[in-house]
Amino acid sequence: MLQSLALPLSEAPLRPIVLVGLMGVGKSTVGRRLAARLRLPFVDADNEIEAAAGMSVAEIFERFGEAHFRDGERRVIQRLIDGTPKVIATGGGAFINPETRALILAQSTAVWLDARIDVLVERVRRRNHRPLLKDRNPAEVLRELAAVRNPIYAEAPIHVSSHQAPHEHTVVAILKALGR
């Protein structure tokens, strides 16, 4: 049985922990649980972007395009990585931007959450808000994205696989990788 007790404050990380990986891997869900275990604040970068823009990620993509969104995403993540310990969930494409990636690698502990394509497809089908999947086959899109992005995500110093299991298993794997 997995223990769900929070860690003592003295064991909390000194740098922000930034979760990266493809859509559907569980960055937000795992991030919230990881933050609770570490007694740290949790921030979802996409929620922060939506609050700053006053519109959803999908609306930003539709109205202004992906390049505009990625620029705003970089600025929001730069604001979030302020040296304060916290857990940050990023959007799937955030770490792909070279400037954003350099910032994350230099000023935080990056954790790549990875999962098999079939697991991701099952997860993304539960919600219909992802701009890159609009009117496309999720398995095809995710395979294409993985081919391009996984070599970049691999630059994160910590790599944890997310399986078809309770998210708590992924949280425990991250804690172990962090030496907690």
**Token pair of 5 as six digits:** 């007790």
Q: Please tell me whether 86 is known to bind a ligand.
A: no
132: Cβ contacts below 8 Å, ≥ 6 apart = 23, 92, 93, 141, 145
Both tokens of 19, joined, read 């979760």
Q: Is 29 annotated as a binding residue?
A: yes
Q: Residues with Cβ < 8 Å from 74, sequence gap 6 or more?
A: 94, 97, 99, 100, 103
71 is in an annotated binding site: no
Residue 130 among known ligand-binding residues: yes
The string of DSSP letters for 29-84 reads HHHHHHHHHHT--EEEHHHHHHHHHTS-HHHHHHHH-HHHHHHHHHHHHHHH-SSS
Q: Is 25 annotated as a binding residue?
A: yes
Residue 27 counted as an annotated binding residue: yes
Instruction: Please tell me whether 70 is known to bind a ligand.
Output: yes
Per DSSP, 154 falls in state T
Rounded Cα distance between 127 and 48, Å, is 19
Distance CA 7, CA 180 (A): 8
Is residue 108 marked as binding? no
- 26 labeled part of a ligand binding site: yes
63 labeled part of a ligand binding site: no
Q: Answer yes or no: is 24 a known binding residue.
A: yes
> Is 108 in contact with 156 (CB distance < 8 Å)?
no
Binding-site residue ranges: 24-29, 46, 70, 92, 130, 149
Binding-site residue ranges for Mg(2+): 28
Binding-site residue ranges for ATP: 24-29, 130
Binding-site residue ranges for substrate: 46, 70, 92, 149
